């Protein structure tokens, strides 16, 4: 199948492109390379361009004979979204509108949308099920929820079916060692901790006064290869005619920042220097998924649910690529 992957040169997108190639699909990647890396696109076609350009997107849809879309292109930093909400509404909502209009105009009817646990905001139950109320506490989560709310209207008007995947914390690296996480600047916990292990730098813990057993935030870390697998299953389900749906993607188990650091020390065999800093705006205390719905309906079962293994794959990449893709 010919699949347009927006943001396919990014961390998660590049792993999905690899999974598509392994299944014999043809990925057409649209990425402005503002954060992605051309070297991370292991096959198919890479078009460097802006999703906000309606003419370009329409041309790709038609000339590329696109049959389905995996839409990953987005800004995704909670803290930045609080500082600069306009960027998030323009890039995450406005550009998605361009994509949806091009899909409607070209009759492309299958969309896998990359959503987020941030749509839930501060949860009132844990683990979080898909029926939990959505009440984002930052513009990033709001921008993704706005897209989720647009999708059923495009289905009604144009027959566009979708699967929205609400990711919890994507982590780890390609188990074959070909791909990994390379953000500039890096803001995520696991790569920051591993870079600290390599360089002796100090990791800042964003708040140790949360209402959790050790005072640090708890997150559900999911291996990027398991996320990729879910996208493939979603794509196949849509093409087979499954109705539109929204699913959580996590392992159903949470780990605190302290626990992640301890596990990273086991994996790397060294002591990691930490210092406690202030809370980061927009961070809920605990985010843990119930992924029972996607397991039951799409048969998704994670291959790498173990935190030690997740961090070990990230460490393997980090050690072999201390300068990322450079
Ligand atoms: N975090 C931290 N220090 C860092 C990076 C992250 O304490 O250098 C915390 C952050 O506050 C959150 C958790 O680690 O509670 C995971 O953050 P990350 O940025 O990796 O993912 P997010 O939860 O924002 O998607």
* Rounded Cα gap, residues 34 and 45, in angstroms: 18
Atom of ligand 1 nearest to the CA of 257: 14
| Cβ of residue 204 lying under 6 Å from some atom of ligand 1 | yes
CA angle 81, 82, 85 (to 5 degrees): 55
User: Is the Cβ–Cβ distance between 191 and 315 less than 8 Å?
Assistant: no
User: Is the Cβ–Cβ distance between 102 and 54 less than 8 Å?
Assistant: yes
Q: Model confidence over 173-228: pLDDT tens digits?
A: 999 999 999 989 889 999 999 999 999 999 999 999 999 999 999 999 999 999 99
Q: Which of 188, 288, 289 to mutate to test the pocket of ligand 1 (most atoms within 8 A of CB)?
A: 188
Q: Which domains does the chain have, with CATH numbers?
A: 2-171+223-249 (3.40.50.720), 189-219+252-320 (3.90.25.10)
Dmax of the chain from CA atoms?
57
As annotated, the active-site residues are: 140
Per-residue confidence (pLDDT) for residue 323, from 0 to 100: 87
The stretches in the chain having pLDDT less than 70 are none
Per-residue confidence (pLDDT) for residue 140, from 0 to 100: 95
Nearest partner of 10 among 183, 244, 209, judged by Cα: 183
Atom of ligand 1 nearest to the CA of 78: 24
Per-residue confidence (pLDDT) for residue 283, from 0 to 100: 87
Per-residue confidence (pLDDT) for residue 322, from 0 to 100: 86
Q: Which of 121, 219, 310 to mutate to test the pocket of ligand 1 (most atoms within 8 A of CB)?
A: 219
Residue 89 CB neighbours (<10 A): 15
Q: Is 163 left (phi over 0), alpha (psi -120 to 50) or beta?
A: beta
Q: How many CA atoms lie within 13 A of 294 on its CB side?
A: 29
| Cβ of residue 217 lying under 6 Å from some atom of ligand 1 | yes
């Amino acid at each position: 199948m010919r699949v347009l992957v927006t943001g396919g040169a990014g961390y998660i997108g590049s792993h999905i492109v690899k999974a598509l190639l392994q299944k014999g699909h043809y990925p057409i990647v649209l990425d402005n390379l503002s954060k992605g890396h051309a070297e991370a696109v292991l096959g198919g076609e890479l078009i460097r361009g802006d999703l906000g350009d309606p003419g370009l997107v329409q041309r790709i849809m038609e000339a590329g004979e696109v049959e389905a879309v995996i839409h990953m292109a987005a800004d995704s930093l909670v803290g930045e979204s609080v500082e600069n909400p306009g960027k998030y509404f323009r890039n995450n909502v406005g550009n998605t509108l361009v994509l949806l209009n091009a899909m409607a105009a070209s009759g492309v009817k299958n969309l896998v949308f990359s959503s987020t646990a941030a749509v839930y905001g501060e949860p009132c139950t844990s683990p979080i099920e898909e029926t939990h109320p959505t009440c984002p506490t930052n513009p990033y989560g709001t921008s993704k929820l706005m897209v989720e709310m647009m999708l059923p209207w495009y289905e009604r008007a144009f027959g566009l079916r979708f699967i929205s995947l609400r990711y919890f914390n994507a982590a780890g690296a390609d188990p074959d060692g070909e791909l990994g996480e390379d953000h500039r600047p890096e803001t995520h916990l696991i790569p920051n901790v591993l870079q600290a292990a390599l360089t002796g730098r100090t990791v800042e813990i964003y708040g140790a006064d949360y209402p959790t057993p050790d005072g640090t935030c708890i997150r559900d870390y999911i291996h990027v290869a398991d996320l990729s697998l879910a996208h493939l299953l979603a794509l196949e389900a849509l093409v087979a005619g499954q109705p539109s749906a929204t699913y959580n993607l996590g392992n159903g188990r949470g780990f605190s920042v302290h626990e992640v650091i301890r596990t990273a020390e086991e994996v790397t065999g060294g002591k990691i220097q930490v210092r406690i800093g202030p809370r980061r705006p927009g961070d809920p205390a605990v985010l843990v998924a119930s992924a029972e719905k996607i397991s039951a309906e799409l048969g998704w079962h994670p291959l790498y649910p173990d935190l030690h293994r997740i961090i070990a794959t990230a460490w393997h990449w980090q050690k072999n690529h201390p300068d990322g893709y450079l």
